[in-house]
Amino acid sequence: MRLPFPYRPEDQVVSSLLKSLAGALDWAAAVQPAQPWVQAVRDQTAELAVDLIESLFGKSTLMRKSSGPS
């Protein structure tokens, strides 16, 4: 079964939306508050991977105590 062609050219729609946001977003201001969260994710990547794999095998990770900042 083939999918129908999109109703509208999605690449052009997304491109035009991104162009309209180009001057509206202050990425430098957005990066600063996000840095601690990004660093915490980077520091706990292995623990997150273990949690995800354990949850695939049915282990509940909802009640696990957090060892780092949330």
In a domain, 53, yes or no: yes
State the pLDDT at residue 42: 87
In a domain, 5, yes or no: no
The low-confidence residues of the chain, meaning pLDDT below 70, are 6, 61-70
State the pLDDT at residue 34: 92
Task: Please state, in angstroms and rounded to a whole number, the distance separating the CA atoms of residues 22 and 41.
Answer: 27
In a domain, 47, yes or no: yes
State the pLDDT at residue 64: 62
Task: Please state, in angstroms and rounded to a whole number, the distance separating the CA atoms of residues 28 and 26.
Answer: 6
Report the domain count for the chain. 1
Q: Going by C-beta distance under 8 Å and a sequence separation of 6 or more, which residues neighbour residue 43?
A: 68
Instruction: State phi, psi for 39 to the nearest 5 degrees.
Output: -65, -40
The pTM of the whole model exceeds 0.85: no
Residue 32, domain extent: 26-65
**Residues recorded for the chain:** 70
Task: Please state, in angstroms and rounded to a whole number, the distance separating the CA atoms of residues 29 and 34.
Answer: 9
